[in-house]
C-alpha cells in the first residue's frame, strides 16, 4: 500500500497505437495536475486531429480515486472512456490524462471490439511512458527578522524541505515545499521560532 502522500504517475507525455480492421486508435498520455490543464490538452488534440471521428478520454487526479472522468465522445456508451479509465486504474496511476483519437476504417468493430481497441491503445501509451512515484507536496510562506536566520536554517537543514524562493533583506521571506506527511512537523517547528510570521 502506498503512503497517503505518495502516488504513481507517468514522467512525461507518451503515445500509443492500435490498429484494427482499418481503424486507427492513436493514444496520447500526459501527467497532469489540474482540470484546466486537461481541458487544454483535449482542445489541442481536437484541433490537431480535427478530421478524426472520435476523441475519447479518461483522466484521474488526486489520491483517493474519486476525482476522475471518462468520455466516450460519440462511441457506444461504456466502450471507450471506461476501458481507458480501466487502464489508468489497473496501472494504479493518478494525475494522468489519456486521450484516444480514432480514425474510422469503414468496418464496425462491435462493442467488445471497441472496448478491446480503446483498452489496448491506452495500455500501449502507458507502456511507452516511464512510471514514477511522486509525493503530494504542500507549500509554506513565512517572514522572519534577520536575527532569526540561524534558527530558521537549522530547521530547514533538519527537516529538508525544498526551498522554492527566498529573500534575505531587513525582513527575510521564504517559500518552502515539503511532502504532506512531513508538513505538520515542519510547521510546528517553525512556529516555535520567535518573531516568525506565517503568510
Residues 110 and 121 in one domain: yes
Domain ends where: 79, 114, 134? Answer: 134
pLDDT tens per residue across span 20-41: 999 999 999 999 999 999 999 9
The answer to whether 80 touches 56, Cβ cutoff 8 Å, is yes
C-alpha separations of 73 from 41, 112, 173 in Å: 15, 17, 49
pLDDT tens per residue across span 40-58: 999 999 999 999 999 999 9
Q: What average pLDDT is seen over the chain?
A: 93
pLDDT of residue 1: 34
What whole-number distance in Å separates Cα of residue 196 and Cα of residue 144?
Answer: 4
Residues 93 and 140 in one domain: no
**Mean local confidence (pLDDT), 63-76:** 92
Residues 181 and 88 in one domain: no
Residues 125 and 48 in one domain: yes
What whole-number distance in Å separates Cα of residue 142 and Cα of residue 171?
Answer: 10
Q: Is residue 26 part of a domain?
A: yes
pLDDT tens per residue across span 162-175: 999 999 888 899 99
- What is the pTM for the complete model shown? 0.79
Q: Domain total for the chain? A: 2
What is the CATH classification number for the domain harbouring 143?
Answer: 3.30.70.1150
Residues 116 and 182 in one domain: no
Q: Is residue 1 part of a domain?
A: no
Query: Which residues are CB-neighbours of 141 under 8 A, at least 6 positions away?
Result: 173, 174, 175, 198, 199
Amino acid at each position: 500500500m502506498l503512503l497517503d502522500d505518495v502516488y504513481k504517475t507517468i514522467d512525461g507525455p507518451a503515445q500509443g497505437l492500435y490498429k484494427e480492421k482499418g481503424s486507427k486508435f492513436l493514444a496520447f498520455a500526459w501527467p497532469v495536475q489540474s482540470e484546466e490543464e486537461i481541458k487544454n490538452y483535449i482542445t489541442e488534440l481536437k484541433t490537431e486531429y480535427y478530421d478524426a471521428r472520435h476523441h475519447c478520454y479518461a483522466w484521474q487526479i488526486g489520491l483517493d480515486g474519486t476525482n476522475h472522468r471518462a468520455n466516450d465522445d460519440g462511441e457506444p456508451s461504456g466502450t471507450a472512456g471506461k476501458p481507458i479509465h480501466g487502464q489508468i486504474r489497473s496501472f494504479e496511476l493518478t494525475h494522468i490524462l489519456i486521450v484516444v483519437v480514432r480514425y474510422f476504417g469503414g468496418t464496425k468493430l462491435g462493442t467488445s471490439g471497441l472496448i478491446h481497441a480503446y483498452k489496448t491503445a491506452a495500455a500501449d501509451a502507458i507502456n511507452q511512458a516511464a512510471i514514477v512515484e511522486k509525493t503530494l507536496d504542500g507549500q509554506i510562506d513565512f517572514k522572519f527578522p534577520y536575527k532569526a536566520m540561524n534558527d530558521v536554517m537549522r530547521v530547514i537543514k533538519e527537516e529538508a524541505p525544498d526551498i522554492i524562493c527566498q529573500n534575505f533583506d531587513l525582513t527575510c521571506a521564504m517559500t518552502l515545499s515539503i511532502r504532506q506527511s512531513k508538513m505538520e512537523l515542519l510547521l510546528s517547528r517553525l512556529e516555535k521560532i520567535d518573531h516568525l510570521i506565517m503568510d
